[in-house]
Structure 1
Amino acid sequence: MRDIEIIAPNFKRRLSGVTSTIVQLVPKQVALGTRIATLGPGLPPHLPKLGWRQLPGLWLRPRRYRVRVWHARRNNEMLFGLFLRTVLHMPLKLLFTSAAQRRHSAYTRFLIRRMHAVIATSTRSGSFLQVPHRVIQHGVDLNLFHPPEVPADRISATDLPGRYLVGCFGRVRHQKGTDLFVQAMIDLLPSHPDWTAIVCGRVTPEHRAFADGLVKSVAEAGLADRIRFMGEVDDIRPWYRRATLYVAPSRNEGFGLTPLEAMASQTVVVASDAGAYAEMIVPGETGMVVAAGDGEALTAAIRTYLDDPDEARRQGLYAVVHVRSNFALEKEATAIGDVYADLLGEKRSS
């Protein structure tokens, strides 16, 4: 316990964008020498982890510093960190990372004002904060998400028809704009016979009727063989590499990693301006950005690439360069490490 200097709580059992961030980021932080451990359910066993019974050990100061950093990403994690520090008087500095693209509630603002430091994941999310903060954008693991390398990374390795693949990945629900993508495909695919569309993602019970309606619309359009609903696949990474075009049509989003994962895989992206999408895409060079919820604009942008697959491939090549230069996961981990260092402050005397 005394070797641990950073605590990264995860107080949500089900997979979410925040959980995914922790899963990808922590190993990179460990590799860079950060003495960090996670706390909470829903995390894979390979991550360094504290058990709840070890929490009393937080009263003991770490070997090298006078305090530890509690790095929260949700309201309940901020509240618990505040309880540990102010009620139980544990030697902690509190850090919050905010990805929200909206005005915070009074309760959230109350918690944020009590943090020692705040990170915003985008300029847009930072614009909703009323406290000093630092913008550190999420990165993508370039070892996991990379251009096609083997025959299995091509559409020809699947049972799908066509020469080119356009994909939309993520939970199937109204918020994610899955219906906008499906309608665009119904409108465009009849005049683009070389293209096939796939939707990959989980359907939760509360969104089953929404998903069933999309499947019905596709069947009524006679496109069930060319607009495939794949469900939640075991490994999404090869599907990014098989795609020539990726579409992120969210109506609202926190940050949203999928465009970065696609571009790192050499796939051009059409995205809404939800979340941080507009801050990660270079229009006309790595993809296109349209207004969130604008189905006509989304369809027109997608048509540009369906009409010209060679241009889609050219922009996909530049997308890899762009992500490697600006959105490597190591860059995010290093920047967060600088914030940790500021909070940890003076080392303990030997």
Structure 2
Amino acid sequence: MAQGASGQTAPSGIPDIIAPNFKRRLSGVTSTIVQLIPAQRAAGLDIAALGPGLPDGVAKMPCAGLAGLWTRPAGRTARVWHARRNTEMVAGLILRDMLRMPVKLVFTSASQRHHKPFTKWLIGRMDAVISTSQKTAGYLERPSTVILHGIDLERFHPAGDRAGAKRAVGLPADRKIVGCFGRIRRQKGTDLFAEALFAPLKAMPEWIAIIAGRTTAEHKGFEAELRARIASEGLEDRILFVGEHTDIERWYQALDLFIAPQRWEGFGLTPLEAMACAVPVIATDVGAFSELIVEGETGHILPDLKAETMQIAAERLMADDALRETMGRKARRHVEAHFSLEREVRQLARVYDSVAPRTGTAAPR
């Protein structure tokens, strides 16, 4: 084991890279950590999470392990603290600048807005910054490395039998299905999705729509109003609320078309998850969506946030089985070529190596 600056040997069980997660409730950032860490460890990175609310499958460092950061790791010049929230950047600065621990600070930014002065100050003191899209990078006032998220292509894959996939989640095998997945709230555009489909569903009886996701307490009123609006159109048996699911890949496999109707998004993984399952995607131009979807080949990016515009795009794809099949095949190939989780892991490893070079250990696979 390596000797620290104080001459002490670094304690065992303290990872080279720490991914703090200072939010107990599930969020997009937490989901990213949950997905990435097992893949990073499989690639040979010594990384663990720190914080509450993480499932058993994610390697974790106990809070008591923070004392071990006084010493240097065996395989790097310093440990890496990979923050994704302001609170985590603050904690990293305390470790590095106040406690003088040998750690380097990396921050991933997903925001697409101008940062407040305090956040700018924090970002300016990071050793490296990662942006999750070109749009995000444009809001930063310092250089960053753009690393688009990837997804698990073994988990998200096309259904061998789409009719069977529909039956497996309790949906009618003889219907075509358009879906919208995510938390149910105005920001996520769930109401735009429903409104855009009122006319197409009435004109195409072979189609139904599903909305999958959780409604938190503060958005129960929004859901109630949306359900009432759907019922007033006589479509309560055609636009189905199917709840939140941990096996969401099975629901993607049952789809014929996916719509991402968000009014705002930091990054947004749902289009990638759908395309990985060979499902074409219609999406608003928010988050990283325009950097994920190839316009006219794997789906469509909408020029505005109007339900009428979404309706026109939906009607076109809902009416053309051959076009959807072609787009779905291209979508899967596109995600395989550009958005694997392994690609994201490799790119993150290069950032870690740039701030805390390795000291003779092998690079990740």
Normalised by the size of structure 2, how large is the TM-score? 0.92
Of 16, 23, 34, the match for 1:5: 16
Do the aligned residues in 2 keep the contact of 1:248 with 1:258 (CA within 8 Å)?
yes
- In the other structure, the counterpart of 1:269 is 281
Instruction: Map 1:154-165 to 2 at 5 A.
Output: 154-157=165-168, 158-160=170-172, 162-165=174-177
Instruction: Map 1:1-350 to 2 at 5 A.
Output: 1-2=11-12, 4-150=15-161, 153-157=164-168, 158-160=170-172, 162-345=174-357, 347=359
User: What SS is found at the alignment partner of 1:284?
Assistant: coil
- CA distance in 2 between counterparts of 1:274 and 1:97 reads 18
- CA distance in 1 between counterparts of 2:266 and 2:332 reads 23
- CA distance in 1 between counterparts of 2:286 and 2:81 reads 29
Do the aligned residues in 1 keep the contact of 2:268 with 2:289 (CA within 8 Å)?
yes
- Cα deviation, 1:318-337, whole Å, max 9, x if unaligned, reads 10000000000100000000
CA displacement at 1:292 relative to structure 2: 4.8
- CA distance in 1 between counterparts of 2:296 and 2:134 reads 21
- CA distance in 2 between counterparts of 1:25 and 1:346 reads 21
- The count of corresponding residues between Structure 1 and Structure 2 is 349
Unmatched tracts of structure 1, length 5 or more = none
Unmatched tracts of structure 2, length 5 or more = 1-10
CA displacement at 1:309 relative to structure 2: 2.2
CA displacement at 1:187 relative to structure 2: 2.2
CA displacement at 1:230 relative to structure 2: 0.9
Do the aligned residues in 1 keep the contact of 2:190 with 2:261 (CA within 8 Å)?
yes
- Cα deviation, 1:9-51, whole Å, max 9, x if unaligned, reads 0111111111111111111111111010110011111211111
- CA distance in 2 between counterparts of 1:206 and 1:136 reads 33
- CA distance in 2 between counterparts of 1:108 and 1:322 reads 35
CA displacement at 1:234 relative to structure 2: 3.8
Seen in structure 2, the aligned counterparts of structure 1 residues 335 and 159 have a Cα distance that, compared at 3 Å, is closer
Of residues 320-329 and 219-228 in structure 1, the stretch that sits farther from structure 2 once superposed is 219-228
- CA distance in 1 between counterparts of 2:59 and 2:164 reads 32
- CA distance in 2 between counterparts of 1:32 and 1:348 reads 17
User: What SS is found at the alignment partner of 2:188?
Assistant: coil
Do the aligned residues in 2 keep the contact of 1:252 with 1:292 (CA within 8 Å)?
no
User: What SS is found at the alignment partner of 1:124?
Assistant: helix
- CA distance in 2 between counterparts of 1:88 and 1:81 reads 10
- CA distance in 1 between counterparts of 2:125 and 2:360 reads 25
- CA distance in 2 between counterparts of 1:222 and 1:323 reads 37
Of residues 219-228 and 115-124 in structure 1, the stretch that sits farther from structure 2 once superposed is 219-228
- CA distance in 2 between counterparts of 1:24 and 1:202 reads 20
Seen in structure 2, the aligned counterparts of structure 1 residues 105 and 34 have a Cα distance that, compared at 3 Å, is same
Do the aligned residues in 2 keep the contact of 1:28 with 1:330 (CA within 8 Å)?
yes
Q: In angstroms, what is the RMSD of aligned CA positions?
A: 1.6
CA displacement at 1:162 relative to structure 2: 4.8
- CA distance in 2 between counterparts of 1:224 and 1:253 reads 27
Q: What is the letter of the counterpart of residue 17 of structure 2? A: I
- Cα deviation, 1:38-81, whole Å, max 9, x if unaligned, reads 10011111211111111111111111223101000111101110
- Cα deviation, 1:247-291, whole Å, max 9, x if unaligned, reads 001001000000000000010000001100010000111000013
Q: What is the letter of the counterpart of residue 249 of structure 1? A: P
Q: What is the letter of the counterpart of residue 137 of structure 2? A: G
CA displacement at 1:236 relative to structure 2: 1.0
Do the aligned residues in 2 keep the contact of 1:96 with 1:119 (CA within 8 Å)?
yes
- CA distance in 1 between counterparts of 2:72 and 2:107 reads 21
Normalised by the size of structure 1, how large is the TM-score? 0.96
- Cα deviation, 1:118-169, whole Å, max 9, x if unaligned, reads 0001000000011111101000100110000256753344343752100000
Give % identity.
Answer: 49
Do the aligned residues in 2 keep the contact of 1:162 with 1:196 (CA within 8 Å)?
no
Do the aligned residues in 2 keep the contact of 1:198 with 1:227 (CA within 8 Å)?
yes
User: What SS is found at the alignment partner of 1:154?
Assistant: helix
- CA distance in 1 between counterparts of 2:184 and 2:176 reads 22
- Cα deviation, 1:102-131, whole Å, max 9, x if unaligned, reads 111111100000000000010000000111
Of residues 300-309 and 88-97 in structure 1, the stretch that sits farther from structure 2 once superposed is 300-309
Q: What is the letter of the counterpart of residue 246 of structure 1? A: F
- CA distance in 2 between counterparts of 1:234 and 1:66 reads 39
Seen in structure 2, the aligned counterparts of structure 1 residues 309 and 39 have a Cα distance that, compared at 3 Å, is same
